[in-house]
Amino acid sequence: MPYRGYSDYFEKKLVISVATTGGHQGKEANPNLPEQPEEIAQDLAECEEAGASIVHIHARDEDGDGTKDVARFQEIRDCIDEYCDDIIVNFTTGGGGIYSREERIAPILETEPRPELATIDLGPINFGQTRTAVNTREQNEEYAERMRDAGVKPELELFNPGQIPEADHLIEEGLLDAPYWATVIFGMQNGMPPGPRNLINFVDNLPDPVEWQALAVGKHQLPMTTAAITMGGHVRVGMEDNIYYRKGELAESNAQLVRRTARIAEELERPIATPAEAREMLGL
């Protein structure tokens, strides 16, 4: 829920997530986007130092193409453990329309240690002219149940408010533990259009008790994440969502985007959560 009265605004720690890589654009769009395991982990170490407490992970193969290969996710995880101190690892289950249901969840269940978080996309989203990522209720029930049994907390990804009833359904079925962790997403092809009124309406209908973060793609990233900070929410930044630092200027690194978010939060009097503090807030 958005803040009403800002009673504890100045004490509410801000969780910064960083999505370093993604499964779409790569070095052809920004040569600074990390693709290989050690490259991801080195960039991520700077992100953690700058204030990121969660990393959202996609894997690429040696050629830079997306992959769900468990061994590749394990290699990334091992590099993160080598280069980073305490950051919370969050694996994606995205890739609908490309990978099978089992391929999408296998890295969450078969890597060691397992990630503390993993995404569940609560509904379909279109990509380009021909691809739709289908995320059915049956699939999401299965993912939530298997994550619960594995001790992995779901991050609920919502592309529009029409997917909130799917979150309510998982809660009613006893498949989610409070506090719920939700990501509200703006600017996707057939997702929620960016704008402050849409942000307010979106989060105003999330199930309680919830901690939520906002992400927005491309040029919308900076204004929408800043709005979320002012509402007492949390934020996700990174080159999965936006390859630019400003118009016409490619981002130098994911850490550059995290540092800017941390500076804005400081000016807005929102203290930055450490990974330990984020774990406490999210019930990990």
Q: pLDDT > 90: what percent of the chain?
A: 92
The answer, yes or no, to whether residue 20 has pLDDT greater than 90, is yes
Mean pLDDT calculated for residue range 177-187: 98
| pLDDT attached to residue 121 | 98
The answer, yes or no, to whether residue 41 has pLDDT greater than 70, is yes
The answer, yes or no, to whether residue 276 has pLDDT greater than 60, is yes
Q: Could you give the CA distance from residue 156 to residue 163 in angstroms, rounded to a whole number?
A: 10
Q: Per-residue confidence at 1, pLDDT binned at 50, 70, 90?
A: low
3-state secondary structure 78-99: HHHHHHCCCCEEEECCCCCCCC
> Alpha-carbon dihedral of residues 209, 13, 232, 281, nearest 10 degrees?
-10
Q: Per-residue confidence at 191, pLDDT binned at 50, 70, 90?
A: very high
For residue 11, is it within any domain? no
Tens of pLDDT, residue by residue over 45-97, are: 999 999 999 999 999 999 999 999 999 999 999 999 999 999 999 999 999 88
Q: Could you give the CA distance from residue 199 to residue 237 in angstroms, rounded to a whole number?
A: 16
Q: Give the pairing type, strands 125-127 and 131-133.
A: antiparallel
Tens of pLDDT, residue by residue over 102-152, are: 999 999 999 999 999 999 999 999 998 998 999 999 999 999 999 999 999
The whole-chain average pLDDT of the chain stands at 96
CATH number for the domain harbouring residue 22: 3.20.20.70
The answer, yes or no, to whether residue 5 has pLDDT greater than 70, is no
For residue 7, is it within any domain? no
Q: Per-residue confidence at 42, pLDDT binned at 50, 70, 90?
A: very high
The domain in which residue 51 lies consists of 16-282
Q: Could you give the CA distance from residue 266 to residue 66 in angstroms, rounded to a whole number?
A: 36
For residue 35, is it within any domain? yes
> What predicted TM-score, i.e. pTM, was given to this entire model?
0.96
For residue 172, is it within any domain? yes
For residue 9, is it within any domain? no
Mean pLDDT calculated for residue range 232-250: 97
| Total domains present in the chain | 1
